């Protein structure tokens, strides 16, 4: 994280404005945003309030529930407990960066097909964690899936459907890889 902060400091010119705002450059879903705000601002706040990316949800605000997860350089992390100063210079991907209503990502399609939601509040985190898992392990076994989703809380009790959705997602992605060969 130290390098990331250093890179951002260079981009910001190393100085605070009179209003206590810093220049922070965030690469989100392939677009670079130049923002003026305190470096201590939580990433989740900026994503939701400034960039209007509402896929990541505010749940606990303490890094416990996983509702706010985003991908930072491919790893699933909790945006509520990271400041923009820590992630400037990193590649940030939110749920919106995976797919769209018209063209859902295979993982999103799998969650829809498996009907893996009741209230849906946890799904952002579940899908982001699944993306991170399947990128590094395309054929996870059940224990590995459970481990990857272990600290993502679902209060509705759709765990069985969520596990099924991850298995479906792995199959859909495998089929895509096969058809692109």
Residues that bind ligand FES (CB under 6 A): 58-61, 63-68, 78, 80
Compute the distance between CA of residue 113 and CA of residue 82 in angstroms, rounded to an integer.
Answer: 32
**For residues 67 and 162, which CB has a smaller minimum distance to ligand FES in the complex?**
67
Indicate the residue whose CB is closest to ligand FES.
80
Quote the longest CA-to-CA distance of the chain. Answer: 56
Beta bridge partners, 23, equal: 36
- In whole angstroms, the minimum distance from the beta carbon of 85 to ligand FES comes to 18
Compute the distance between CA of residue 84 and CA of residue 47 in angstroms, rounded to an integer.
Answer: 10
**For residues 23 and 130, which CB has a smaller minimum distance to ligand FES in the complex?**
130
Place of tokens 């820590």: 86
- In whole angstroms, the minimum distance from the beta carbon of 16 to ligand FES comes to 27
**For residues 110 and 129, which CB has a smaller minimum distance to ligand FES in the complex?**
129
Compute the distance between CA of residue 100 and CA of residue 103 in angstroms, rounded to an integer.
Answer: 5
Assigned token pair, 78:
């909790």
Look at residue 27 and give its three-state secondary structure: strand
The closest of 113, 126, 121 to 172, measured between CA atoms, is 113
- In whole angstroms, the minimum distance from the beta carbon of 121 to ligand FES comes to 10
- In whole angstroms, the minimum distance from the beta carbon of 38 to ligand FES comes to 19
**Strands across the sheet with 91-93, in order?**
31-37, 22-28, 91-93, 69-72, 75-78
**For residues 23 and 56, which CB has a smaller minimum distance to ligand FES in the complex?**
56
- In whole angstroms, the minimum distance from the beta carbon of 57 to ligand FES comes to 7
**For residues 37 and 80, which CB has a smaller minimum distance to ligand FES in the complex?**
80
């Amino acid at each position: 994280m130290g390098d990331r902060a250093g890179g951002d400091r260079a981009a910001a010119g190393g100085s605070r404005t009179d209003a206590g705002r810093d220049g922070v450059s965030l690469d989100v879903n392939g677009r670079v945003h130049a923002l003026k705000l305190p470096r201590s601002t939580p990433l989740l706040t900026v994503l939701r309030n400034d960039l209007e990316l509402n896929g990541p949800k505010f749940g606990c605000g303490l890094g416990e529930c996983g509702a706010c997860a985003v991908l930072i350089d491919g790893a699933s992390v909790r945006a509520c407990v990271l400041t923009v100063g820590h992630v400037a210079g990193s590649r940030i991907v939110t749920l919106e960066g995976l797919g769209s209503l018209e063209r859902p990502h295979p993982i999103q399609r799998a969650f829809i097909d498996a009907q893996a939601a009741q209230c849906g509040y946890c799904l952002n985190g579940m899908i982001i964690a699944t993306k991170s898992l399947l990128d590094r392990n395309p054929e996870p076994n059940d224990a590995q899936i459970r481990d990857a989703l272990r600290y993502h809380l679902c209060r509705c009790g759709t765990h069985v459907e969520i596990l099924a959705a991850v298995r479906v997602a792995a199959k859909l992605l495998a089929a895509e890889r096969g058809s692109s060969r």
